C-alpha cells in the first residue's frame, strides 16, 4: 500500500480515533535507502540555515562528513516518501534535527513532517529507514567483523551467549554483529540509545523472510514489550530495522511502485 493512502475526513472523535488506528495499520511499511560519500553534493545548498549552522559547529571533520552523509540519505529517502521532488531547494525545506535525546526528527517548512525516520552510518555508507509518523523506528548498519574476546560477555544476555555457543565458529562474527546491530536498532526505536544497558534488550532470531530480509524480534526486558524487526547482509555489512509494530520486510526507498510490485 502506498504511504500516501488517504482515509475519509472523520466527523466525530470516535471516528477520528478509528481513522488514526486504520491509517497506522495501512502505513506500517518501512522504506530504506543507502547512500555513500560519492552521492553527497560538495556544496551545502541542500541543508537548511539551521543545519548549516549546526554542521559549522562540529569540531571533527569525520563526524561532520558522517553527519552530512546521514542527512543527505535521510532527506533523499524522506522526500521520496513524501512524494516531493528531490531538488536541493526542496531538500533545504526539509530539516532533519536532533531531538533532545539525539533521535533525528524531520520538519518540513518548520512543521513536523508526517514520517518517522532513523539513521545509521558506517564506513562511508549511510542507511536510513522511513515509515509512518508515530511508528517507533530504529535502524542500524554494522560492518561484519570479529570482536574482542570479551565483547559478547560484556554486552549480551545469557540467552544470546547461548545462541553464540551453539553457532559454528565461522558464523560467529556475523552472529555477534547481528545481535549487536539489532540491539542498537531497538535502542534507537525506543529512543534510549546506548544510555540503556544493552543486556536489558534481548535479540531473538526467527524465520527467514523474503527479498533477502530475515525476521527478528527484540525483547525489552525492562519495559516488557517486543519490537519486531528485520535483518539482512549487504556486502560486508548487516542492516537491521526494528519497529513498534509488525511490518512487511523493508522496501527500497527510491524504487518506483511498479518495480516494488514486480519484486514482491
Name 241's bridge partners. Answer: 139, 230
Three-class secondary structure of residue 33 per DSSP: strand
Residue 8 corresponds to which cell in the numbers above?
475519509
Q: 23: burial class by Cβ within 10 Å (0-12, 13-18, 19+)?
A: middle
Q: Report the residue number, 96 or 219, with the smaller CB distance to ligand COA.
A: 96
Residue from 25, 53, 194, 264 that binds ligand COA (CB under 6 A)?
A: 194
H/E stretch holding 89: helix 88-93
Q: Report the residue number, 32 or 67, with the smaller CB distance to ligand COA.
A: 67
Residues 199-238 that bind ligand COA (CB under 6 A): none
Shortest distance in whole angstroms from residue 186 CB to ligand COA:
10
H/E stretch holding 257: helix 257-263
Q: What residue has cell string 539482512?
A: 232
Q: Is 171 in the site for ligand COA (CB under 6 A)?
A: no
Q: Report the residue number, 119 or 241, with the smaller CB distance to ligand COA.
A: 119
Shortest distance in whole angstroms from residue 255 CB to ligand COA:
24
Residue 15 corresponds to which cell in the numbers above?
471516528
Stretch that binds ligand COA, among 106-114, 148-156, 184-192, 239-247 (CB under 6 A): 184-192
**Residue 242 contacts residue 258 (beta carbons within 8 Å):** no
Residues 118-157 that bind ligand COA (CB under 6 A): 119-121, 140
Q: Is 103 in the site for ligand COA (CB under 6 A)?
A: yes
Q: Is 183 in the site for ligand COA (CB under 6 A)?
A: no
Q: Is 64 in the site for ligand COA (CB under 6 A)?
A: no
Shortest distance in whole angstroms from residue 207 CB to ligand COA:
25
d(C-alpha 27, C-alpha 259), whole Å: 19
Residues with Cβ within 8 Å of 195's Cβ and at least 6 positions away in sequence, in order, are none
- Write out the residues near ligand COA by the rule CB under 6 A: 67, 70, 98, 101-104, 119-121, 140, 184, 187-188, 191, 193-195
Amino acid at each position: 500500500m502506498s504511504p500516501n493512502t488517504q482515509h475519509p475526513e472523520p466527523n466525530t472523535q470516535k471516528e477520528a480515533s478509528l481513522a488514526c488506528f486504520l491509517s497506522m495499520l495501512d502505513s506500517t511499511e518501512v522504506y530504506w535507502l543507502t547512500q555513500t560519500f560519492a552521492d553527497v553534493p560538495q556544496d551545502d545548498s541542500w541543508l537548511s540555515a539551521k543545519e548549516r549552522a549546526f554542521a559549522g559547529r562540529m569540531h571533527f571533520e569525520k563526524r561532520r562528513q558522517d553527519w552530512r552523509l546521514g542527512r543527505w540519505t535521510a532527506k533523499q529517502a524522506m522526500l521520496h516518501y513524501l512524494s516531493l521532488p528531490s531538488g536541493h531547494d526542496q531538500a533545504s525545506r526539509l530539516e532533519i534535527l536532533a531531538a533532545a535525546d539525539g533521535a533525528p526528527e524531520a520538519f518540513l517548512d518548520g512543521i513536523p513532517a508526517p514520517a518517522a525516520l532513523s539513521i545509521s552510518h558506517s564506513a562511508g555508507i549511510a542507511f536510513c529507514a522511513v515509515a509512518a509518523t508515530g511508528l517507533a523506528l530504529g535502524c542500524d548498519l554494522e560492518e561484519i567483523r570479529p570482536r574482542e574476546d570479551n565483547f559478547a560477555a560484556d554486552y549480551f544476555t545469557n540467552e544470546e551467549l547461548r545462541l553464540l555457543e551453539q553457532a559454528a565458529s565461522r558464523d560467529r562474527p556475523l552472529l555477534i554483529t547481528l545481535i549487536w546491530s539489532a540491539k542498537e536498532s531497538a535502542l534507537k526505536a525506543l529512543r534510549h540509545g546506548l544510555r540503556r544497558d544493552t543486556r536489558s534488550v534481548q535479540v531473538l532470531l526467527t524465520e527467514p523472510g523474503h527479498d533477502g530480509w530475515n525476521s527478528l524480534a527484540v525483547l525489552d526486558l525492562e519495559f516488557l514489550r517486543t519490537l519486531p524487526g528485520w535483518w539482512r547482509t549487504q556486502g560486508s555489512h548487516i542492516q537491521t530495522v526494528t519497529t513498534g509494530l509488525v511490518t512487511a520486510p523493508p522496501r527500497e526507498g527510491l524504487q518506483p511502485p511498479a518495480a516494488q510490485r514486480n519484486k514482491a
